[in-house]
Structure 1
Amino acid sequence: MRLPVASHVPLTLSRILTAVGESLRRHPRRITGSLAMLLLGTGVTAFGVAPLAPDAADLPVRQVLEAIQPLAPASAQAQTEALADFSFSLFRTEATRSSDTAASLLRRLNLDDAPADAFLRSDPNAQLVLAGQPGKNVTVEANDSQQLLKLSMRWPSDDEQMFQRLVIERSSAGFTSRIETAPYTRSAQLASAAIQSTLFAAIDDARIPDGVGVQIAEIFSADIDFRRSLRKGDRFNVVYETLEADGETMRVGRVLSAEFVNGGKTFQAMWFQPPGIDTAGVPLKGGYYTLDGQSLRRSFLSSPVEFSRISSGFSMRFHPVLQTWRAHNGTDFAATTGTPARTVGDGVVEFAGVQNGFGNVVFVKHRNNMETVYAHLSKINVQAGQTVTQGQTIGLVGATGWATGPHLHFEVRINGVQQDPMTIARQSDVVPVPAAALPQFRQLANGFRNQLQAAATIDQTRAE
């Protein structure tokens, strides 16, 4: 069969396809039969359309020759020497141990370097590596001959914004050491946990730093009695800062936001520092607020020490010294000797000295005929007539007077009658976010809500 193609019309693929389609429509049986005979006769099981591009075999071939100049003998020798002189550095990190010597630490770091051993033992700065508490991370850079090139170690400073770094370096003249100060890098961490028994048991199970648990208890102390009100199934989500030194976490920063579900009731908090300055030209103080803008700072704290295990509450008890049952109109806070005791509110010191079974004791007078008592102190830091502010250290925990061990006996009295400190704290005044700062506050609050929702998924994922 021949396709009707005019001799003066260029043969294109579209015209060919049009002609084939027309022929199939007019003579379907003849064309189908011819195609079947072709396939059966040749044993071909597949066919295709030949490319329209020219065959590569028909294209012209051009040979290109280019002379390669050999390397000069001096250049080849230089490259060989460079390869022979090539060296690389190795980096390792080890934590110091209480039993370490300079030699044993270097061995664990896979270093074989007698001069480095001697320098660590003799240099005053280098001796800091093994001085003090063990567990310090030491990072070294070594060459491929197992010799020390550089050693660094970091530790916190008294300034909460900075850390210190020991650097030991090797040079052609020997080893040198220096101590540097550098700022922390701050990063946010998300965490979540469920209460099975106590707050700190949950903190431990979730591998959250103790400092975060202390802050959570402080933030919600006026709303949640962490001694008596926690229930199995309560849970919390938290976003907190870590302070890092060269990538190593050195200390816990501030809790940025937290959410605690206690008995089915949800409490939320976020850190916020209002912009601006006060009348004295000092930047306004930051604090914790609910996510709808109410300050969590009350007129009175519920605890005169940072959160700790409370050994005796506001109730009847068997007095360990007098050996009789009697009302215990105060709260005993178990704490080690020397723990700071702080005033729970602004006031004036009414009495500071020794008084009967109280031992060393401080009485602070507050407004509205309220008085607080801090007893069994090992040291008193204030004197009668002195004005004190909320959170100020007024003495140190001890075991003076009628005490069988170190603890702080704390009382709240109104018109001379003892009151439950938790009740007083909950009834004290709260302060809202300043109106001028509300737009900024609401923007931050939305971000913290999202972070807390993300934190909540961590414990759910762990449980699944």
Structure 2
Amino acid sequence: MEAFVYSLPLKFRIPVLSVLRVLGEIEIFLTTYPRHFMAVVGFVLLGGGGGAFAVANLGPDAALLPVRIVSTPLETLQLQEQATSLDLKAMQLFRSEITRSSDTPESLLRRLAIVDPEAVTFLRKNALAKDGLVRAGRNISAQANERQQLLSLTTRWLRNETDTVFQRLTIKRTPEGFTAILETAPLVANTQYSGAVVETSLFAAADEARIPDSVTSQLSDIFSSQIDFHRSLRKGSRFSVVYEALEADGEPLRAGKVLSAEMVNGSKSFQAVWFQEPGQKGDYYSLDGKSLKNTFLAAPVRFSRMSSGFGMRLHPLFQTNRAHLGVDYAAPTGTPAMSVADGVVEFAGHQSGYGNVVIVKHSPSQSTFYAHLNQINVSKGKSIKQGETVGTVGSTGWATGPHLHFEFRINGLHVDPLTLARQNSGPASVATRPGFNKMADLARTQLASAGQLRESNVQ
């Protein structure tokens, strides 16, 4: 480039060198300050935009343009007609409450947000209303109008815990005044799935999962021949259960029988399913069809603590070493004591240091002995079934506190109950009976669903 410049005539050489020098400085500027260059370019463009805007403002004045008016008629909404229709429509309010032992008609209706002196008077005087609302713990559903007057009130209950029907009391407002109707209707059984993980006890885990006590008691009975709930139930054990929920108009009133269950204790898993053939007595079986019923229950008291075992011990009253010929179960006064097997009551009465005693004969050679009872619930000669209550735990006779003294005797000789009660001679397998395998497959599916529900609750 320099050779080309110096080859030019002198009069052209100086301007060309000046241009080249300016271009070189521009190149150095662009290389050193690229951002400055972009800012300059942007400023120039904005300036150009401003110029364009200025040019755009030079258009014709909008005030001088022709104007055309367009009008469209609008239909007004019939708001008055709608408001009148709403006024004619009666508003109804619904609310539910649970009766309390301290309730009066006024306090109950007040919690239901009802202010109705006429309803209070009726609830006070009507015999059906007084009887239906006097018990605590009943669910009450009420319907009221916009003036907080009672339109209807309904409650449902069972006469006893084994009922298959329920009572429904309905109170309604009519043009002639209030009426009360008491009806009887059958309970409807629905299937309920649940489960829990044991941290302290089976009952505590079941309470946490809101499983009814009657279901928990059934669980302990079902697996009593396989798990010693007094000594062997481990922390972290888990269970799943499928049971009947007996409902009245969709409201659960009580639990029915357990349909299937699974208990995992440590590394061992136990499963059970209820099976009943038409015209036959139902029972619980493992999923391969083996009976879970032992001839003897593992213990005569549910969920108690074994306070003294079989053998020699220091007598708590006489402070001497004596043979303890049974097993003691510490439990609160009034706890049910159950017969561990079918039999006939051989004795029911008082026996000196043993206090109130019941003796049940199970065979010509075997009998069981229940002592220190607070109350005796059977009489001599009565036939009794396994699990039936013979009395309640107490501290009668020579006892330092409430407990059940339990003995097992063969031909009049004392045998350790913890050993003998584990002998099983239940019915034969039902795996080959029609319908059992289908029932077992259904139980597997239900227990899997209950297990998933339990795990989701734990998480």
Conserved in 1, the CA contact under 8 Å of 2:338 and 2:387? Answer: yes
1:297-376 equivalences under 5 Å are 297-305=293-301, 307-315=302-310, 319-324=315-320, 326-335=322-331, 337=333, 339-367=335-363, 369-376=365-372
Whole-Å Cα distance in 1 between the matches of residues 348 and 234 of structure 2?
39
How has the CA–CA distance of structure 1 residues 458 and 329 changed in structure 2, closer, same or farther, with 3 Å as cutoff?
A: farther
Whole-Å Cα distance in 1 between the matches of residues 353 and 237 of structure 2?
39
Conserved in 2, the CA contact under 8 Å of 1:304 and 1:341? Answer: yes
Give the partner amino acid of 2:267: G
How has the CA–CA distance of structure 1 residues 127 and 201 changed in structure 2, closer, same or farther, with 3 Å as cutoff?
A: same
**What is residue 438 of structure 2 aligned with on the other side?**
443
**What is residue 268 of structure 1 aligned with on the other side?**
271
Structure 1: segments with no counterpart, 5+ residues: 1-76, 276-282
1:167-178 equivalences under 5 Å are 167-178=170-181
Tell me whether 1:423 sits opposite 2:425 in the alignment.
no
**What is residue 241 of structure 1 aligned with on the other side?**
244
Deviation digits for residues 315-374 of structure 1, max 9, x if unmatched? 566544334455543233445555554322233444333222112212233337222101
Task: Decide which structure has the larger Cα Rg and report it.
Answer: 2
Tell me whether 1:400 sits opposite 2:396 in the alignment.
yes
Deviation digits for residues 59-106 of structure 1, max 9, x if unmatched? xxxxxxxxxxxxxxxxxx999976543213221101123333211221
Conserved in 2, the CA contact under 8 Å of 1:225 and 1:422? Answer: no
**What is residue 227 of structure 2 aligned with on the other side?**
224
Whole-Å Cα distance in 1 between the matches of residues 83 and 448 of structure 2?
61
**What is residue 144 of structure 2 aligned with on the other side?**
142
How has the CA–CA distance of structure 1 residues 325 and 145 changed in structure 2, closer, same or farther, with 3 Å as cutoff?
A: farther
Whole-Å Cα distance in 1 between the matches of residues 141 and 345 of structure 2?
52
Deviation digits for residues 31-71 of structure 1, max 9, x if unmatched? xxxxxxxxxxxxxxxxxxxxxxxxxxxxxxxxxxxxxxxxx
**What is residue 456 of structure 2 aligned with on the other side?**
461
Conserved in 2, the CA contact under 8 Å of 1:360 and 1:375? Answer: yes
How has the CA–CA distance of structure 1 residues 234 and 368 changed in structure 2, closer, same or farther, with 3 Å as cutoff?
A: farther
Deviation digits for residues 219-246 of structure 1, max 9, x if unmatched? 1111100010011221111111111122
> How much does 1:121 deviate?
1.6
> How much does 1:298 deviate?
1.9
Tell me whether 1:119 sits opposite 2:122 in the alignment.
yes
Give the partner amino acid of 2:400: T
How has the CA–CA distance of structure 1 residues 87 and 325 changed in structure 2, closer, same or farther, with 3 Å as cutoff?
A: farther
How has the CA–CA distance of structure 1 residues 200 and 79 changed in structure 2, closer, same or farther, with 3 Å as cutoff?
A: closer
SS in 2 for 1:448: helix
**What is residue 154 of structure 2 aligned with on the other side?**
152
SS in 2 for 1:430: coil
Conserved in 2, the CA contact under 8 Å of 1:308 and 1:334? Answer: no
1:43-82 equivalences under 5 Å are none
Conserved in 2, the CA contact under 8 Å of 1:222 and 1:422? Answer: no
Give the partner amino acid of 1:440: G
Tell me whether 1:91 sits opposite 2:94 in the alignment.
yes
Aligned CA-pair RMSD: 2.7
SS in 1 for 2:443: helix
Whole-Å Cα distance in 2 between the matches of residues 392 and 105 of structure 1?
40
Give the partner amino acid of 1:285: K
Whole-Å Cα distance in 2 between the matches of residues 440 and 431 of structure 1?
18
Q: TM-score, normalised by structure 1?
A: 0.74
SS in 2 for 1:125: helix
How has the CA–CA distance of structure 1 residues 325 and 172 changed in structure 2, closer, same or farther, with 3 Å as cutoff?
A: farther
Deviation digits for residues 120-147 of structure 1, max 9, x if unmatched? 1221221235423x33211011122211
Q: TM-score, normalised by structure 2?
A: 0.75
**What is residue 108 of structure 1 aligned with on the other side?**
111
Deviation digits for residues 178-227 of structure 1, max 9, x if unmatched? 22111112111111211222112221232322222211111111110001
Give the partner amino acid of 1:180: E
Give the partner amino acid of 1:169: K
Conserved in 1, the CA contact under 8 Å of 2:290 and 2:430? Answer: no
Give the partner amino acid of 1:141: Q
How has the CA–CA distance of structure 1 residues 82 and 198 changed in structure 2, closer, same or farther, with 3 Å as cutoff?
A: closer
**What is residue 134 of structure 2 aligned with on the other side?**
131
Give the partner amino acid of 2:342: D
Conserved in 1, the CA contact under 8 Å of 2:101 and 2:134? Answer: no
Structure 1, 294-303 or 250-259: larger mean CA deviation: 294-303
Give the partner amino acid of 1:185: V
Whole-Å Cα distance in 2 between the matches of residues 421 and 453 of structure 1?
36
| Amino-acid identity (%) | 53
Deviation digits for residues 398-433 of structure 1, max 9, x if unmatched? 332112344332111234443343432321202134
Whole-Å Cα distance in 1 between the matches of residues 342 and 82 of structure 2?
78
Tell me whether 1:452 sits opposite 2:454 in the alignment.
no
Conserved in 2, the CA contact under 8 Å of 1:347 and 1:367? Answer: yes
**What is residue 64 of structure 1 aligned with on the other side?**
none
Give the partner amino acid of 1:353: G
